[in-house]
A and B are shown apart, each in its own frame.
Chain A
Amino acid sequence: MRSSVFLAIAVAVAGLTFAGARVAGNDYVFFAGYTVLQFVVLATAWNILGGYCGYVNFGTAAFFALGAYTSVFFHKTYPLPIPVLFAVAAVVSGVVGLGTGYLTLRLRGAFFSIATLALAVVLQTFVVNWSYVGGSRGAYVIRPGDVDVFGFHLEYIQYLFLLMALLAAASVAIARAIERSKLGYGFATIRDDELAAEASGVPTLKLKLVATTLSGALMGMAGAPFPYYIGYVEPASTFGLPYAVNAIAMPLIGGTTTWIGPLVGSILLGTLQQIVTVTISSEVNLLLVGVLLVAFVIVAPKGLVGLVQPLFHKTGRTWTRPSSKSRDSASASAASSPSTKST
Chain B
Amino acid sequence: MGSNAVHRKMSRSPATALAAAFLFLFACRTAAAQMEITGSWAARNHEFLSGDGLPVDFTGIPLNEEGRIRALSYSESQLAMVERQCQGWPAFYIVQGPFGLKIWSETDPLKGNVISYIIGAWEDRAPLTIWMDGRPRPSKYAEHTRAGFTTGSWEGNTLVAYTTHMKAGFLRKTGAPSSDEAAMTTRFYRHGDILTVLAIIEDPIYLAEPWILSRSFQLSAAPLSPIGPPCITTYEGSIGQTAPHYVPEKNPFVDEMTTKYGVPRDAAIGKPETLYPEYRRKILPVAPVR
A binds B: no
Contact residues of A with B, CB < 8 Å?
none
